[in-house]
Structure 1
Amino acid sequence: MAHTAAKHALVGLTKQLSQAFGPSGNTCNVVAPGFVRSNPAPERQWNAYGSDDQKWLVESIHVRRLGTAADIAHAVLFLVGDKAGWISDQILSMDGGRS
């Protein structure tokens, strides 16, 4: 329940910050990553799954692979660049199509 509440709070905060800072030319967006083996916590979770559940997780992702830290970094670099200057108040799901 707390996880869901926190995610909804993030949506509200994104909207509020976009509205508050937009008039001065600033954008506000959120990148919402899926399962990325980028630090010890998801690595422990991955190892706890076992081979059958690991296979199920990867097969449940449309692109049939886990994300990487580089995948997330590329999206963030795009959003902070000039080509995304008219994108604001968005939640970018980065989960290979799983959600």
Structure 2
Amino acid sequence: MKPRKIPMRKDIVTGEMFPKKELVRVVRSKEGDVTLDPTGKANGRGAYVSLDVKNAEMAKEKRIFDKAFGVKVADEFYDELIAYVDHQQARRELFGDK
């Protein structure tokens, strides 16, 4: 059988390409709301960040999503992103790649 193609996406913080499963999608809706999209299927403009706490913290420092989406993103969103990435990173370490 032919091996399956792995979808790749670019991490907005580092500019590196990663398999889609190793990233979390952040979405800006038409109304301008910026939210996390763990399913990867929400409507709106999406950007990806890797499941690495350092990258999530760098995104907060440099206000990456403010620039990418052209809207002012609250600090609470960045804190939520860091907490989510930290949780997912811990899950991967405990349970392996799932």
Asked if TM exceeds 0.5, the reply is no
Q: TM-score, normalised by structure 1?
A: 0.28
Q: Please tell me whether Structure 1 or Structure 2 has the larger radius of gyration of its CA atoms.
A: 1
Q: Which structure has more RCO (C-alpha within 8 Å, separation ≥ 6)?
A: 1
Q: Which has the higher strand share?
A: 2
Q: Which has the higher helix share?
A: 1
